[in-house]
Structure 1
Amino acid sequence: MPAFSGESNFLVLDQGTSSTKCFLFDTHGQVVFSERIKHGLARPKPHHVECNAEEIYHACTRLIQKCIDYANEQSLKICSMGLAVQRSTFLFWDKETVDPLSPALSWQDSRAVSVVDELQKFGSKIHKRSGVPLSAHFGGAKFLHMINNDSNLRAKVESSEAWFGSLSTYLVNKLTGKPVIDHTVAGRSQLMNIDTLAWDNKLLSLFETPVNCLPEIIPTVGAFGNYESIPLACVIGDQQSALIGQGGVQNGFLAMNFGTSGSVLLNSGKSPQHNEGLLNNVLYSNEHVVYYLTEGSINACNSLFYWLETELDIPHKDMIWDQRCAQTETNGVLIAGFSGLAAPYWKSGFETVYSNLENADHNEIVRAGMESIGFLVHDIMQSMCVANHAKMIPASGGAAREPLLQFIADILDTPIGHTTMKDRTAYGVFCLLKEHNGESVTFSVPACNVIFDPKMDAEKLNVKLEAWKSALQSVIH
């Protein structure tokens, strides 16, 4: 048995759409070890997007063991661990064996659109009670679609043999034996009441969901059980953790994160908000306090460019979308339909719109796709009523590249800062673990290596916004 050093170390898993990463942080927030395992998505039919929950679980256990082995080699003590996870991915699994009974339906999956159509007359009530707009991307619609199309699954649910929950719940159940879901991810089920933070009987009735197949809801920071004698002390949605990692613990703090998907994130304080077209959720919670989040989500950022690789027959190594966009301008508009639109419009999969792109080359189409992300950020900010809210808005993530951030600065007429520290999502979990361990934490806004000031003149800006609004009409009406 090694003689451990006195300082605390914290193990963090960042479970994302295309990979799972592990990090070992020392008490000062420095990463002393990290590793990553990639995994894929299956797209068996249009608008069907699935991942393999067991594959992701095994990736998690391998990564945890790598951290433990490194800690033992270096005589480091791991105090606790935490998990940041993709949020709107849901599945069924057996209560006894903890084996999956269905694929994990990705947050990108919109096969449940028929359920949404049938419940549309209740849309306003559902949004008010759950905090999130009625959508095929969330848990309730996925639950009802799956049991309506699988009689064996329905029988398992009716006989109380199956859990239905988020990927995070499945992973916690497998790792520690506790089938629990935290507030931040439970908000994506569309079954939790945003005001009471409990399963809502009226929502359960609308989505025909028996409460005995749902996990217990608990705070984000607390007791999730132990794995290999290491306490799992935090489970949180990845975008919430990214905001915390950017120092966003103060009411009114605004930031952006662009990865496979994207989010505009606003700390909305200690009271839940109700904003039309936006997600109103928990930022994080513990046994003493709950902080809330207003969010505008964008379904496709980096995934948009992966889709364009196939659509335009561009090899992945040749896409390099930021270079293509930096040397190209367009008057066209592209609205990709493969994953639908999230905030603030909530339209499931539709035919892709190519407006004024009839004779465009590949670079111009890629540029139009990139600009669609910026237009959606603009519309989300309008819905948040925080246009010109901040002197500078920090942005992070793998898709937070120069052409996109410059375009967002132009379209918002607000400076955008690119934050220098990578892996803000994992760092957010570290901050919560350290605070839970009774240690002092400084939630500081990260430094920006580049600030993008608005450059576009008002006339050109108005022309582009009008072109976007015109193209959008064919989707939202």
Structure 2
Amino acid sequence: MAKKYILALDQGTTSSRTVLFDDKGKICGIAQRETEQIYPEHGWVEQNAVEIYQSQLETMHKVIRENDIGFEDILSIGITNQRETTVVWNKKTGEPVYNAIVWQDVRTSKYCKELKKDATLKTYIQENTGLVIDSYFSATKVKWILDNVPKARKMAEKNELLFGTVDTWLLWNLTKGNVHATDYSNASRTMLYNIVKLDWDQHLLNKLEIPASMLPQVKSSNFHYGNFEFDNYKIPVTGIAGDQQAALFGQACFEKGEIKNTYGTGCFLLMNTGSKPKFSEHGLLTTIAWGLDGKIDYALEGSVFIAGAAIQWLRDGLQLIDNAKDSEYFAKQVKEDSSVYVVPAFAGLGAPYWDMDARGSIFGLTRDTGKNHLIKATLESLAYRSKDLIVSMEEDSGVRLTALKVDGGACANNYLMQFQADILDTPVERAEIIESTALGAAYLSGIGVGLWKKEDILKNRKIEKEFQPKMDESKRKKLYATWKKAVSRSMDWED
């Protein structure tokens, strides 16, 4: 029997990638293309939705070409994506009516503040969607498009517009407009989906004046959504999950209480909470982890909006490094304990603070501060923000973290991972395959076509390196207390 492959389409905030996996779950090839970020106004973040699809298609063809295989060798396709990013398009022409509004965008923060004044609505949203009222989520982005793009609302009322997160947009294009659908994990990130009743929430749709006709169908994460047709080959799309839930699946966190942390553009910590939603009292989100064969798993989630993006800022904004991986070298050049702290609140602060008005800040500068100190402090900020989330998660769950499973591009940085273990006083496990997001999408797709079972995924997982904590307890407490002080002074900055 000829070897078969699975394509994982990993559409992220700053790039589109396609990862080719063989039938053993091993990576055979990766193709990647960066996508343009558009900043029309202060705090606005957009992308060209057409470019998103075209770049994803380009990487699909590239990885197949470079590995000397054909589409006939592809068993199935899995999709994983940046979540909350909002696309609205004309269902007849397929043309977006506006740029994709990215999850980091804060243009609707003023409107969200108005919504928060309604205490009943605030409670309703948390208890039914698992989320908090914030510009982060898709709901207010959809409303903004309908209210601000000429003719958009009238078109929506005439059933001429469709809404989708990036997975839905990709799926619609891959199937030539035949399928308008999403999975449970992505639906749960919109602030429009009732995660208790497992249906779009009509009360919220009415409140935000969003026609239900715009919304995609919601299916299991390993559902056969439709087919991508190329050169007379029909390749089934059988797996979809939002990037962070896909990473949780890729890390084989199938049991209640298991935690992973992904260091990507943002930093996202998820804990599997089993078949029932666990609602947070410490600023975390309740989300659907995945739907597998009709059964739902839930998760607690903490979100750091800016993580790897802060390293990009060092590279592109400040031009302190030529390559993101150089940050490890420069951080290690600072031998003494640095008093410099960077709070990367470029898009506000997510959990557990939820302050849309916080802004990026640097504290502790002295005359001898140099670029190495800034690079070191920026790296350390990712570990501090992750600790913020873990402290909240432990308080919510009553479970003490015994080990942290890590993945994502920035987890390849040994300095960051050692500091993470030190500041947590907990071992950090880096998987052999750190592409857990793409791996999760591939696994879901493979399960969807009967290639794998969950037991196979558990057997496949291997740890590449474990980082043990080495820091003195008094030093750990002092560093973290100073971090908390820095965060408090960065909050409520934007008027």
For Structure 1 versus Structure 2, the TM-score category normalised by the shorter chain is over 0.9
Task: Report the Cα offset of residue 75 of structure 1.
Answer: 9.1
The one-letter amino acid paired with 2:418 is: Q
The one-letter amino acid paired with 2:181 is: V
CA distance in 2: counterparts of 1:38 and 1:311, whole angstroms: 17
What are the Cα deviations for residues 125-159 of structure 1, in whole angstroms up to 9, with x where unaligned?
22222111211111112122233333422222232
Q: Which residue, 378, 388, 395 being the options, matches 1:379?
A: 388
Distance verdict in 2 for CA 1:437–1:156, change over 3 Å: same
Matched, 1:59 2:71: no
- Which position in structure 2 is the counterpart of 1:185? 186
The one-letter amino acid paired with 1:452 is: F
Distance verdict in 2 for CA 1:10–1:395, change over 3 Å: same
- Which position in structure 1 is the counterpart of 2:214? 213
Determine if contact 1:312/1:362 at 8 Å carries over to the other structure.
no
CA distance in 1: counterparts of 2:69 and 2:315, whole angstroms: 43
SS in 1 for 2:442: helix
Distance verdict in 2 for CA 1:357–1:103, change over 3 Å: same
CA distance in 1: counterparts of 2:391 and 2:139, whole angstroms: 28
Mapping of 1:7-406 within 5 angstroms? 7-66=3-62, 73=69, 77-121=73-117, 122-176=121-175, 177-228=178-229, 229-276=234-281, 277-314=283-320, 316-317=322-323, 320-328=326-334, 329-359=337-367, 360-385=369-394, 389-400=400-411, 401-406=413-418
The one-letter amino acid paired with 2:173 is: K
User: What TM-score, normalized to structure 1?
Assistant: 0.92
Task: Report the Cα offset of residue 418 of structure 1.
Answer: 2.0
User: What TM-score, normalized to structure 2?
Assistant: 0.89
Task: Report the Cα offset of residue 369 of structure 1.
Answer: 2.1
The one-letter amino acid paired with 1:295 is: E
Aligned length: 473
Task: Report the Cα offset of residue 224 of structure 1.
Answer: 1.4
What are the Cα deviations for residues 62-112 of structure 1, in whole angstroms up to 9, with x where unaligned?
333446667885796322211111111102100111111110111221111
Matched, 1:412 2:427: no
Determine if contact 2:10/2:16 at 8 Å carries over to the other structure.
yes
- Which position in structure 1 is the counterpart of 2:470? 455
Task: Report the Cα offset of residue 298 of structure 1.
Answer: 1.1
The one-letter amino acid paired with 2:299 is: L
SS in 2 for 1:367: helix
What are the Cα deviations for residues 413-434 of structure 1, in whole angstroms up to 9, with x where unaligned?
1111222224222221222222
Determine if contact 2:357/2:491 at 8 Å carries over to the other structure.
no
Task: Report which stretch shifted further, 225-234 or 32-41.
Answer: 32-41
CA distance in 1: counterparts of 2:399 and 2:376, whole angstroms: 25
Determine if contact 2:312/2:324 at 8 Å carries over to the other structure.
no
Task: Report which stretch shifted further, 85-94 or 446-455.
Answer: 446-455
Unaligned stretches of 5+ residues in structure 1: none
SS in 2 for 1:469: helix
Determine if contact 1:88/1:188 at 8 Å carries over to the other structure.
yes
Task: Report the Cα offset of residue 368 of structure 1.
Answer: 2.1
Distance verdict in 2 for CA 1:339–1:70, change over 3 Å: same
Determine if contact 2:358/2:491 at 8 Å carries over to the other structure.
no
The one-letter amino acid paired with 2:11 is: Q
CA distance in 1: counterparts of 2:415 and 2:29, whole angstroms: 32
CA distance in 1: counterparts of 2:225 and 2:464, whole angstroms: 37
Determine if contact 1:387/1:412 at 8 Å carries over to the other structure.
no
Question: Aligned Cα RMSD in Å?
Answer: 2.3
CA distance in 2: counterparts of 1:74 and 1:226, whole angstroms: 16
Determine if contact 2:6/2:75 at 8 Å carries over to the other structure.
yes
- Which position in structure 2 is the counterpart of 1:425? 437
CA distance in 2: counterparts of 1:29 and 1:380, whole angstroms: 30
Distance verdict in 2 for CA 1:297–1:351, change over 3 Å: closer
Distance verdict in 2 for CA 1:466–1:197, change over 3 Å: same
Task: Report the Cα offset of residue 160 of structure 1.
Answer: 2.1
What are the Cα deviations for residues 405-464 of structure 1, in whole angstroms up to 9, with x where unaligned?
122211211111222224222221222222222234312273333322112212212211
Task: Report which stretch shifted further, 151-160 or 212-221.
Answer: 151-160
SS in 2 for 1:189: coil
Determine if contact 1:394/1:448 at 8 Å carries over to the other structure.
no
SS in 2 for 1:148: helix
Determine if contact 1:415/1:453 at 8 Å carries over to the other structure.
yes
Task: Report the Cα offset of residue 345 of structure 1.
Answer: 1.4
The one-letter amino acid paired with 2:425 is: D
Unaligned stretches of 5+ residues in structure 2: none
- Which position in structure 2 is the counterpart of 1:471? 486
What are the Cα deviations for residues 231-282 of structure 1, in whole angstroms up to 9, with x where unaligned?
1111111111112111212222111110111111211111112113112111
CA distance in 1: counterparts of 2:204 and 2:362, whole angstroms: 37
CA distance in 2: counterparts of 1:474 and 1:198, whole angstroms: 40
Identity of aligned residues (%): 30
CA distance in 1: counterparts of 2:70 and 2:360, whole angstroms: 53
CA distance in 2: counterparts of 1:358 and 1:98, whole angstroms: 55
CA distance in 2: counterparts of 1:351 and 1:390, whole angstroms: 30
Distance verdict in 2 for CA 1:32–1:304, change over 3 Å: closer
Task: Report the Cα offset of residue 310 of structure 1.
Answer: 4.9
SS in 2 for 1:10: strand
Distance verdict in 2 for CA 1:319–1:224, change over 3 Å: closer
CA distance in 2: counterparts of 1:425 and 1:476, whole angstroms: 31
